[in-house]
Amino acid sequence: MDKNTFTELLDKYIQGTASTAEKFLLEEYYEQLSKPNVAYSQNPEQDAHDEALRKQILDNILFSIKQPAVHSITHKNKKLFFIKVAAAAAVVIFIISGIFFSFSRKQQHIEKVPEVVLKKYDKPILPGGNKALLTLASGLAIVLDSVGNGTIAHQGNSTITKSGGHLLYGSDKNAVAETEYNILTTPKGGQYHLTLADGTEVWLNSSSSIRFPVAFTGSERNIEMTGEAYFEVTKNAYKPFHVKVNDMTLEVLGTHFNIMAYNDEPTINTTLLEGAVKVSDDTRSSLLKPSQQSKFNKLSKDISVVNTDTTKAVAWKNGMFMFSRDDIKTIMRQVGRWYDVDINYSGRIDSRLYSGSISKYVNAPEVLKILQLGGIKFKIEGNKITIL
């Protein structure tokens, strides 16, 4: 995130137009750093380390913006503080613009407060973008990021139109057509927005796919997916909407929800933002309410339901990485998918837990520099990132 983009984000916050994720990003950082930690653990060394890390980040910020000590900043003049921070140097902006990684007090402490090493790389690892492959029922494959905007295909009574990173299906609702299925697939480093023939909106995350009918002609609306997707389903009480994911099925009439079902994740997580969703397998089912998340364990086949902050589940759709007490391997799986890089590990990887947020649109080394604040060491060799 460059300085101009960050300034625009601050303006949105002050004007009251910032999104939930943007507000979380700024306020969480301020709340974490604007006051000393008063919840001391039973480990004095750990407390001293946490305080030293907090002061290190604050000192970097204060050096750049040449302002008084942050402990004198009150809630009332928080907005003024954010405005002044906008003038900070680029490295500080990367910290302020959405990241404060902390580790669990229950885990082994870091022996030395790490410094952010600012290295230059010959070939930057760039963030992903709008990339996808559309496979028609006929078998014809269309690389969407290689074709221009406008109508790209006709299938029966349906017209397929591309507009930027958005694919739209339109059909003659009065016409009778044979059901044909298309597949939209995003690679690593890709994402795409799809509008189905019934008006349902789908956002596909990287390394994901959705198989869907060109037109919904029967009494049900059935699709299949892999990876991760966010849905805003058009309401139709006479045509329930079903999403098939491995051994699990979701049934909805009209609702907003996110499904995370990557093959390398241990659970299939369904997070409900609005409406109602029934999550089922062959033997059991659970009905979700807004702000609840179901976890379908792939090994045991058990379904558990927990209350959750939906902001984290849809952060990827809003252009953010957001973590909440996640281990480094969980974090790096997301990094690997979005930046299209291979992730490797060398030596013993500890079990510290991290929380924080950062824009998806910075280059990968910037994300890793921030992770260094939590003690993570890494090296980059071509398209491979090794965690040490």
Q: What is the tens place of the pLDDT at every residue in 182-237?
A: 999 999 999 999 999 999 999 999 999 999 999 998 889 999 999 999 999 999 98
pLDDT number for residue 43:
56
Q: What secondary structure letter does DSSP report for 205?
A: -
pLDDT number for residue 13:
61
In angstroms, rounded to a whole number, what is the distance separating the alpha carbons of residues 281 and 303?
Answer: 9
pLDDT category of residue 91 using cuts at 50, 70 and 90: very low
In angstroms, rounded to a whole number, what is the distance separating the alpha carbons of residues 272 and 292?
Answer: 6
Residue bearing tokens 């609306």: 221
pTM summary value: 0.72
pLDDT number for residue 113:
33
In angstroms, rounded to a whole number, what is the distance separating the alpha carbons of residues 278 and 66?
Answer: 54
Kindly report the backbone phi and psi dihedral angles of residue 118, in degrees, each rounded to the nearest multiple of 5, phi listed first.
Answer: -95, 95
Closest of 46, 47, 28, 45 to residue 36, by C-alpha: 47
Kindly report the backbone phi and psi dihedral angles of residue 278, in degrees, each rounded to the nearest multiple of 5, phi listed first.
Answer: -105, 120
In angstroms, rounded to a whole number, what is the distance separating the alpha carbons of residues 259 and 248?
Answer: 11
pLDDT exceeds cutoff 70 at 337: yes
- Helix, strand, coil percentages (3-state) for the chain, rounded to 5, are 25, 35, 40
Q: Using one digit for the tens of pLDDT, what is the confidence trace for 298-309?
A: 888 889 999 998
pLDDT number for residue 309:
87
- Enumerate residues 6+ apart whose C-beta is below 8 A from 237: 253
Closest of 288, 313, 318 to residue 303, by C-alpha: 288
